[in-house]
Amino acid sequence: MVLIYSDDKKLTFELLNIGGKIAKELGEKPIALIVGKSNDTLAQEYISYGADSVYIVETELDTFKAEEYSSLLEQVVKDTKSETVVIGSNKNGKELASRLAGRLDAGCIIDCTNIYLKDKKLTSERVVYSGNAIAVEQFISEPAIVTIPSKAFDPLPKDDKRKGETIKKKFDVEKSSSKILKVQEMKSEDVNVEDAEIIVSCGRGFKNKEDIKLVEDLANAIKGKTVGCSRPIAADLKWLSEDHWIGLSGHKVKPKLYIAAGISGQIQHIAGMRDSGIIVAINKDPEALIFKSADYGIVGDLYDILPKLTSAVKEKIG
Amino acid sequence: MNIIVCAKQVVDVSEMKVDPNTKKPILQGVPQKISDIDKNAMEEAIKIKDKLGGKIIVVTIGPADAKERIKELLAMGADEGVLVSLPKNNDYYVVANLLAGAIKKIGEYDIILCGEASIDMFSGQIGPRLAGLLGIPQITYAQKITAEKDKVNADRNMGDKAVTTESTYPVLITVTKEINEPRLPSLMQILGAANKPINEWTDDSLVGGLNPKVEILELKGISMQRKNIVYKDDLDESISKLVDSLAKEGVLR
């Protein structure tokens, strides 16, 4: 069987598409997994998006701990005789898949951008060396565990007529001695850079938090309205929330237009935006790496360029 | 407090070149270094030792020349190094099992520290995988660690949530880059590191019969074809050319 799990509903829909495809080629069935409270509505949704059946593992666990979830998943993998496990690649999913692989002595590949069968064996592709190469890897053992990030695949169209079985199970959990003391929602500014069509990003070249207004103004002028940033702005200086962070450990984006102002172009940042349509770089250092990854660039002081560019864009669009 | 730091020798990705014809990365001749975030793990180990006392052992699975890299960590403040040979055929399963084998041979430990991911592959698989193998709690993506005599807690960045987790010992903790600024060792420390022991163990003497679960078929290049048009004229002229180009590309609405 192909077992599919993520705590993110939307991501699970996407995984059901590729998981279902792999299952079909293997002559297997895609099974979606729900951990937590029994939820028949969600189970039916998963079936509408391609699950053959849904496994609901009812637990009293109220917070996610990879130790406990991996103990549950280990039992589900054995119970369903799953040879392939597809897990959503968010932070919870990655540590869950890795720990599960340790417990099952299984092969595991994190952040696959594509999976397919080659010579009847599960084969994966993922971006390595900070975006400089794609590693093509093949599983030579079972079970095979992969994690897949959001947006790598589209979901199938929803089909409410699809029917499937819902199986409810209970397993004993190996309790972890770790304790969750506090969970706090991160400050979110309701931005979604991953869906944005136009992004204007800022980096180290900005001297003050207030100056970020310069990129906001430009973003508004192009009607993009989406502001992104590189690691220092979100992670070190915390001038913007992490929803804005574009890069290897932030968000991966593919807008039609990406404007990078005051960003030097470290490969970790490039890895997050290299799939963009048109890339524009603004930097005062003519040698800045960002120009090598850009279609258009202007060498100069962003404090001079951005206000002028904003007015010029306004004039052009009207 | 017995602290183990897992560190990986990686190619310095910022020095990596891409073959212009095949678009494949050229790995030969690229300088090697300790993966950046593993140094953050090392720095955190020193802070914990400064507070609670104890011993820090660095474990690396890697080729013979990784010994030079281990010396850098000894200079930073580790007490001992362990270098386990890396078999030619390897994957995460093999490396995690070798780390587990080395750690069992070392014997007693309270905290295992790892970077959240290595900068070459950026999987973040080894830490949680190792914790699963050893059957100990894991605390991932730590941005702040407060270690006490009998327990430790950490603030973790889980993307949309900030989570604080506490655990007794032993525990495995992975840290992010933001947790600290790794120190640069002084000349005296660098010289002093020469007298610290590095134990070299062979992989098959630690764990026999390890065969990878995954094999790498190919490293494909990524073509990054960009126009690379840079306007360097008078600022106003450059801006006007840029806006015209963007309009022609159809990205201004």
A111-133 pLDDT, tens per residue? 999 999 999 999 999 999 987 88
Q: How far is B10 from chain A (nearest CA, A)?
A: 10
Domain boundaries, chain B: 2-206
What is the pLDDT at residue B49? 98
Start and end residues for every CATH 3.40.50.620 domain found in chain A? 2-169
Start and end residues for every CATH 3.40.50.1220 domain found in chain A? 193-317
> Measured between CB atoms, which of A103, A128, A141 is closest to B213?
A141
Please say whether the beta carbons of B102 and B201 come within 8 A.
Answer: yes
Q: What is the CATH number of domain A2-169?
A: 3.40.50.620
What is the pLDDT at residue A82? 97
Given CB atoms, is B88 within the 8 Å cutoff of chain A? no
What is the pLDDT at residue A188? 63
> Measured between CB atoms, which of B96, B138, B213 is closest to A139?
B213
Residue A36 — φ and ψ, nearest 5°? 130, -140
Contacting residues of A for B226, CB less than 8 Å apart: 279, 292-295
Cβ within 8 Å, pair A297-B159: no
What is the pLDDT at residue A187? 65
Q: How far is B80 from chain A (nearest CA, A)?
A: 27
Distance CA A251, CA A294 (A): 19
Q: Which of A96, A249, A267, A291 to mutate to test the interface with B (most CBs of B within 10 A)?
A: A249
List the single residue in A with minimal CA-CA distance to B155.
A182
Contacting residues of A for B248, CB less than 8 Å apart: none
Full pLDDT tens readout for chain A, 318 residues:
999 999 999 999 999 999 999 999 999 999 999 999 889 999 999 999 999 999 999 998 889 999 999 999 999 999 999 999 999 999 999 999 999 999 999 999 999 999 999 999 999 999 999 878 899 999 999 999 999 998 889 999 999 999 999 999 999 998 999 999 999 887 666 788 988 999 999 999 999 999 999 999 999 998 877 999 999 999 889 999 888 999 988 888 989 999 999 999 988 898 889 889 999 999 999 999 899 899 999 999 999 999 999 999 999 887
Distance CA B18, CA B32 (A): 17
Residue numbers in chain B where pLDDT is lower than 70 = 223-224, 253
Q: How far is B15 from chain A (nearest CA, A)?
A: 10
CATH topology of domain B2-206: Rossmann fold (3.40.50)
Given CB atoms, is B26 within the 8 Å cutoff of chain A? no
Domain A193-317 has CATH 3.40.30.10: no
